[in-house]
C-alpha cells in the first residue's frame, strides 16, 4: 500500500482544525445546528483538498506535496493573484464600512497584517531568497 505523504495531509489537517474551531465558535454563538453544518462543510473541504492532491496532473501536484519548479511557479503566481484580489476586497470592504458608518477596524487589521507581512517577506527574501 502506498504510504501517504505527511505534507499532503498537512493542509487538509490544518483546514479541518481551523474549520472545527470555526464550527465550535458558530455553535457557541448561533446554536449547535449551524455549528454542525459548518463542521460538515469543513470536513468536505478538507476531504476535497486531499482528493485534489491525488490527481495525476498539475492541479494534483499543486494541491498535493510533490511540485517541480514550474508547478511551484504556477502556485506562486496563483497565490500572488489571490493576494491582490484579497487586498482589493479589503479596500472595498473598508470603503463600504466607512460609507455605512460601521466599524472599519477588521479591514484595517487585515490591511496592517498584510502590509507588515509584505515588508517582512521582502526583507527575508532579499537576504535569503527561496530558489
Partner 1 sequence: MRNRVREQRAQRGLSQAELAAALGVSRQTVISIENGRYLPSLPLAFRIARFFNVTVDKMFDPEDEVTET
Residues 7-26 that bind partner 1 (CB under 8 A): none
| Least gap, CB of 67 to partner 1 (angstroms) | 8
Phi-psi region of 66 (alpha: psi -120 to 50; beta: other; left: phi over 0): beta
Q: Say how many C-beta atoms besides its own lie within 10 A of residue 107's C-beta.
A: 19
Are 26 and 71 within 8 A, CB to CB? no
Nearer to partner 1, 16 or 61 (CB): 61
Nearer to partner 1, 101 or 131 (CB): 131
Report DSSP state, residue 2: P
| Least gap, CB of 85 to partner 1 (angstroms) | 24
| Least gap, CB of 61 to partner 1 (angstroms) | 6
Any long-range contacts for 62-69 (C-beta under 8 Å, 24+ apart)?
63/11, 64/5, 64/8, 65/5, 65/7, 65/8, 65/10, 66/5
Hey, what's the cell of 92? Answer: 472595498
Among 2, 3, 69, 127, binds partner 1 (CB under 8 A): 69
With CB under 8 A, what is the number of residues at the site for partner 1?
7
Query: Does 99 contact partner 1 by CB under 8 A?
Result: no
Hey, what's the cell of 48? Answer: 476535497
Q: Contact letters (x/-) for partner 1, 49-68, by CB under 8 A?
A: --------xx--x------x
Nearer to partner 1, 63 or 107 (CB): 63
Interface positions with partner 1 (CB under 8 A):
57-58, 61, 68-71
Amino acid at each position: 500500500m502506498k504510504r501517504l505523504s505527511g505534507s499532503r495531509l498537512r493542509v487538509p489537517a490544518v483546514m479541518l482544525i481551523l474549520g472545527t474551531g470555526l464550527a465550535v465558535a458558530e455553535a457557541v454563538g448561533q446554536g449547535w445546528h449551524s455549528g454542525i453544518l459548518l463542521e460538515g462543510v469543513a470536513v468536505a473541504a478538507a476531504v476535497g483538498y486531499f482528493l485534489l492532491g491525488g490527481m495525476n496532473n498539475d492541479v494534483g501536484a499543486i494541491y498535493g506535496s510533490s511540485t517541480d519548479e514550474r508547478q511551484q511557479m504556477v502556485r506562486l503566481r496563483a497565490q500572488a493573484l489571490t493576494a491582490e484580489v484579497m487586498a482589493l476586497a479589503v479596500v472595498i470592504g473598508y470603503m463600504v464600512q466607512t460609507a455605512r458608518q460601521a466599524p472599519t477596524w477588521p479591514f484595517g487589521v487585515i490591511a496592517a497584517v498584510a502590509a507588515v507581512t509584505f515588508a517582512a517577506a521582502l526583507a527575508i527574501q532579499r537576504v535569503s531568497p527561496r530558489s
